[in-house]
């Protein structure tokens, strides 16, 4: 029985198509720079936004109209599993991602919750086997339940730390059972509101303690997923500890955890931190920790995490440029649509149309980024701009042959005033426009 009878299997029809239920750019088997689009992009659907979110906002009730609305919590969870695999199949998306709380209702006790999870995990496993779809990552929701009011690993209450540890343990086991390729740690409420009542040192030490325990347990049970930390600067707490890629890297270095984690970079979190998506990806890439991405976009007029489906081609192009430049591309990670339809897009069809828009925007970005690389556009510009470091004094500086003293002697010896060259940014942006509109 179909849960989305009005939606056909989405096919690639190419650029000129005006069929809303067709891809204009995402052609899974098309080869770009030696790999298929499917291999480059490894798309994933986020369970929570797609099957759980109902459009509730602080001013109004849910608007989404779903066929499972009237069911009991456990039956709802079961139908959502079917909805997930039908949607993945119709969109030709190979992966999905979830939190424990997305797939099964919380019970009255931890044991009961775990039992509910087991029921659904068995069903997910059956569907994975019959469809060939895979779990990109799973994670623990350590922020919704009121027990996490002061955080989870960084809670002021040790009972909450222990409960969080038990939940992470369970979700690592679930990840192993379902063959998850990654496991994500997003710092839900790991942050603080005011230093007046916060022991920041202890909280950060505890966060590191929990991550270390997770690394150890995964090893113990033979769960080989790539571990990912997902930075975010604020929301829900005023100050989140994993503020951005650079802050998270410093944390991992300090606690000797760098070898065990990569980063899951989310576009909307980057902009909330006052960075661009590509900035965060570049920082991660240069430090060898670009693991996976959460694809979405924020709204430049709003200061919060709107998690919109990505449609900004500048952003998808520059993001894909970083991914293509990353050794091994996106690797074990993927492009996870951590994005939700707008509250006014409340019909089932919108779930598909939104993913088509996101997938096409990333496929378009992939093609544009590949063109930038093939035609040596940005690399050529950068190479020319830094040419002074490849000869003369620049080459000597790079080779480590100089000191402040020797450079003073050099500068004193120069007779001509220093001449700089224009950076030509306007022209570069025009070239980028040409590339994006030309592919
Ligand atoms: C919230 C985060 C969250 C993580 C997974 O802002 O994006 O959804 O991706 O816990
Ligand atoms: Ca996310
Ligand atoms: Ca988000």
Q: Is 94:134 a contact under the CB 8 Å cutoff? A: yes
Give residue-wise pLDDT tens across range 304-344: 899 999 999 999 999 999 999 999 999 999 999 999 999 99
Q: What is the pLDDT of residue 1?
A: 87
| pLDDT mean over 351-375 | 98
Q: How far apart are CA 153 and CA 213, in angstroms?
A: 11
Q: Is the CB of 242 under 6 A from ligand 1?
A: no
Mean pLDDT of the chain: 98
| pLDDT mean over 384-390 | 97
Residue 297: helix, strand or coil by DSSP?
A: strand
User: What atom in ligand 1 is closest to the CA of residue 48?
Assistant: 8
Q: Is the CB of 186 under 6 A from ligand 1?
A: yes
Cα–Cα separations (whole angstroms), residue 2 to 63, 84, 86, 93, 348: 22, 11, 8, 17, 12
| pLDDT mean over 133-140 | 99
Q: Is the CB of 360 under 6 A from ligand 1?
A: no
Strand residues in 93-165 grouped as ranges (E): 95-99, 134-139
User: What atom in ligand 1 is closest to the CA of residue 232?
Assistant: 6
Q: Is the CB of 294 under 6 A from ligand 1?
A: yes
Options 25, 40, 49, 99, the catalytic residue: 99
Q: Is the CB of 307 under 6 A from ligand 1?
A: no
Look at ligand 1, atom 7, and give the residue with the nearest C-alpha.
338
**How far, in Å, is the centroid of ligand 1 from the Cα of 40?**
23
Q: Is the CB of 184 under 6 A from ligand 1?
A: yes
Strand-strand pairing, 31-32 and 35-36:
antiparallel
Q: How far apart are CA 394 and CA 389, in angstroms?
A: 4
Options 100, 102, 242, 348, the catalytic residue: 102
Q: Is 64:54 a contact under the CB 8 Å cutoff? A: yes
Q: Please tell me the pTM assigned to this model.
A: 0.98
Q: How far apart are CA 273 and CA 295, in angstroms?
A: 16
pLDDT band at 73 (very low <50, low <70, confident <90, very high): very high
User: At what angle are helices 348-374 and 425-438 packed, to 10 degrees?
Assistant: 120
C-alpha 405: how far from chain center: 46
**How far, in Å, is the centroid of ligand 1 from the Cα of 423?**
38
Q: Is 232:272 a contact under the CB 8 Å cutoff? A: yes
The H or E element that residue 264 is part of is strand 261-266
Share of the chain above pLDDT 70, in %: 100
**How far, in Å, is the centroid of ligand 1 from the Cα of 297?**
13
pLDDT band at 303 (very low <50, low <70, confident <90, very high): confident
* Residue with token string 């950068």: 382
Residue 272, judged by CB atoms within 10 A of its CB (0-12, 13-18, 19+), counts as buried
Give residue-wise pLDDT tens across range 19-69: 999 999 999 999 999 999 999 999 999 999 999 999 999 999 999 999 999
Q: Is the dihedral of CA 203, 205, 209, 212 positive or negative?
A: positive
| pLDDT mean over 287-293 | 98
């Amino acid at each position: 029985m179909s849960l989305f009878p009005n939606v056909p299997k989405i096919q690639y029809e190419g650029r000129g198509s005006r069929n809303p239920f067709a891809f204009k750019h995402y052609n899974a088997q098309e080869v770009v720079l030696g790999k298929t689009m499917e291999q480059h992009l490894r798309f994933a659907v986020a369970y929570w936004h797609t099957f759980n979110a109902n459009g509730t906002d602080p001013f109004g009730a849910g608007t989404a109209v779903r066929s499972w609305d009237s069911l009991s919590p456990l039956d709802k969870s079961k139908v959502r599993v079917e909805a997930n695999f039908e949607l993945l199949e119709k969109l030709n998306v190979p992966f999905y991602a979830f939190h424990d709380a997305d797939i099964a209702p919380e019970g009255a006790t931890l044991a009961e919750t775990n039992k509910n999870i087991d029921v659904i995990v068995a069903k997910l496993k059956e569907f994975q086997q019959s469809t060939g779809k895979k779990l990109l990552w799973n994670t623990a929701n350590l922020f919704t339940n009121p027990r996490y009011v002061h955080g989870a690993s960084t809670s002021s209450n040790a009972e909450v730390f222990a409960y969080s540890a038990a939940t992470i343990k369970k979700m690592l086991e679930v990840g192993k059972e379902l063959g998850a390729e990654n496991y994500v740690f997003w710092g839900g409420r790991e942050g603080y509101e005011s230093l007046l009542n916060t022991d920041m040192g202890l909280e950060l030490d505890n966060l590191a303690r929990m991550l270390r325990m997770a690394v150890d347990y995964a090893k113990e049970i033979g769960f080989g997923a790539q571990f990912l930390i997902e930075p975010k600067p604020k929301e829900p707490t005023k100050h989140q500890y994993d503020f951005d890629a650079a802050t998270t890297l410093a944390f991992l270095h300090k606690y000797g955890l760098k070898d065990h984690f990569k980063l899951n970079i989310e576009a909307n979190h980057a902009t909330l931190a006052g960075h661009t998506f590509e900035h965060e990806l570049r920082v991660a890439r240069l430090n060898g920790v670009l693991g996976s991405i959460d694809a979405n976009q924020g709204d430049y007029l709003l200061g919060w995490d709107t998690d919109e489906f990505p449609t900004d081609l500048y952003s998808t192009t520059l993001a894909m440029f970083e991914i293509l430049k990353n050794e091994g591309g996106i690797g074990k990670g993927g492009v996870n649509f951590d994005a939700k339809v707008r509250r006014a897009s409340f019909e089932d069809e919108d779930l598909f149309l939104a993913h088509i828009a996101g997938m096409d925007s990333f496929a378009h970005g992939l093609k544009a980024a590949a063109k930038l690389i093939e035609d040596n556009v940005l690399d050529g510009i950068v190479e020319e701009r830094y040419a002074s470091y490849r000869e003369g004094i620049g080459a000597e500086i790079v080779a480590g042959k100089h000191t402040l003293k020797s450079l003073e002697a050099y500068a004193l010896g120069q007779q001509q005033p220093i001449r700089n060259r224009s950076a030509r940014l306007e022209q570069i942006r025009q070239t980028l426009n040409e590339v994006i509109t030309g592919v």
